[in-house]
Amino acid sequence: MMMEGERDSDLKVKVIEWEDFEQELARLWSLSSALKQANQNKLSLHRKLHSLIQIDAHSLNQLNELEEMHEKLDAKKKVMQDMSMRSKLAKEDANKQEDQLSVQVRSLLVAGTALSVARKRLQESNRLLAGEKGYVRLRNLQKRLRMRQQYMISQVSLLYPVKISVGPAEEQELELFPSSSRSGSSAGSKPFNHGSLTILGLHLTMLPFKQMSFFTDKKEVQRSATALGYVAHAVSLIASYLKVPLRYPFRLGGSHSYIIDYSPSIEPISSDSSSNTELSTSMKHVEFPLFLEGQDTTRAAYAVFLLNKDLEQLLNFIGVKSLGPCHVLANLKELLRNIQSADYIDT
């Protein structure tokens, strides 16, 4: 009992009068309703806040996505700018190439026009040449030219006849002893001694050109010089009739003729300021004598060698091989024989 009294003393109990009970009960009911309404409002507010938080999170996600889309859009814009720049450069290059191509096309058109004109001319020339008048006329002109050359060179062979000396008082014409054909072969021909050939009755002896001594026959030297003069004149006439420029032309003077070498000569030149010797190339021509009187035998022998080179040039021009560098009269005989043959006109 005592403990319950202590509890009652500890608890502050509000004593309500009966008259105030209804009013207090109404107040408590009002407070309970307000508390319930507050709890409902709190719950509603909590729901709204949760919804707003979700909306905010969704908006934040959308904002992040939007930023990513902006970044991608910026990257695409940059790529588009690069592509636009490249397209612009490509367009400029295409315009330049188009200009160059137009120039090339114009050049090609001009070249095509020129080619067409040239083709028409070629066809016309081929038509004229393929016709009987063109080809036959050309062949006739060629034959007439060859016949004219043959006639003129036959006059040279009559002026300077090359014969074979068989005996002391007997000579035979060169046509009786053909030595070779156009192919250079001597099959079926009678051999003869090249040293027995004469030009206008004179022998050409090469021994004085190789070894000149005090006991050498002066008349033999003069006869050889005269024979070389005859050969030089005959070769000069034949070359002029065949329209062949000789590599080594002549300065004709009968038995004192010269042959000219236009090859560049290299001569040493000594300088006063130094002891060194310099080489200078001179383009002046050099004349070599076709005679031995008062001349060096080496220069005269070289002149005969160059004369034979001219004969070899004429033989090659008509398609005949040379007989060798030491057979001047034999090569001249072969040249005259082939030009006076019937094959010369038909070739």
Strand partners, 250: 259
| Element containing residue 141 per DSSP (H, E) | helix 132-159
* Residue recorded with tokens 């383009």: 283
* Residue recorded with tokens 């014969």: 163
CA dihedral 64, 68, 69, 70 (to 10 degrees): 100
Select from 243, 242, 261 the least CA-distant residue to 251: 261
Strand partners, 170: 167
**Cβ neighbour number for residue 299 with a 10 Å cutoff:** 14
The C-alpha angle with vertex 28 and arms to 25 and 31, in degrees rounded to 5, equals 150
pLDDT at 248: 92
| Burial class of residue 281, CB neighbours in 10 A (0-12, 13-18, 19+) | exposed
pLDDT at 8: 55
Q: What is the pLDDT along the chain (347 residues), one digit of tens a residue?
A: 455 555 555 556 666 677 777 788 888 888 888 899 999 999 988 888 888 899 988 889 999 999 999 999 999 999 999 999 999 999 999 999 999 999 999 999 999 999 999 999 988 887 777 666 667 777 888 888 989 999 999 999 999 998 887 654 344 444 433 444 454 444 334 444 555 888 888 888 766 555 554 445 678 888 888 999 999 999 999 999 999 999 999 999 988 999 999 876 555 555 444 444 454 555 578 899 988 887 788 888 899 999 999 999 999 999 998 888 778 999 999 999 999 998 888 76
Strand partners, 281: 266
Identify whether the C-beta of residue 260 lies closer than 8 Å to the C-beta of residue 252: no
Q: List the chain domain ranges.
A: 68-130, 150-265+282-346
Identify whether the C-beta of residue 319 lies closer than 8 Å to the C-beta of residue 347: yes
| Element containing residue 120 per DSSP (H, E) | helix 18-130
| Burial class of residue 38, CB neighbours in 10 A (0-12, 13-18, 19+) | exposed
- Concatenated DSSP letters of 288-330: EESS-TTS-HHHHHHHHHHHHHHHHHHHHHTT-----TT-HHH
How would you classify the pairing of strands 202-203 and 250-251? Answer: unpaired
pLDDT at 77: 92
Q: Cα-flanking dihedrals φ and ψ of residue 217, to 5°?
A: -70, 120
Identify whether the C-beta of residue 225 lies closer than 8 Å to the C-beta of residue 242: no
- The span from the CA of 322 to the CA of 315, in Å, is 6
- Concatenated DSSP letters of 87-110: HHHHHHHHHHHHHHHHHHHHHHHH
- The span from the CA of 264 to the CA of 282, in Å, is 6
Q: Coil, strand, or helix at residue 263?
A: coil
Q: Coil, strand, or helix at residue 269?
A: strand
| Burial class of residue 197, CB neighbours in 10 A (0-12, 13-18, 19+) | buried
CATH of region 150-265+282-346: 1.10.418
- The span from the CA of 345 to the CA of 154, in Å, is 13
Tokens in use for 227?
Answer: 């024979």
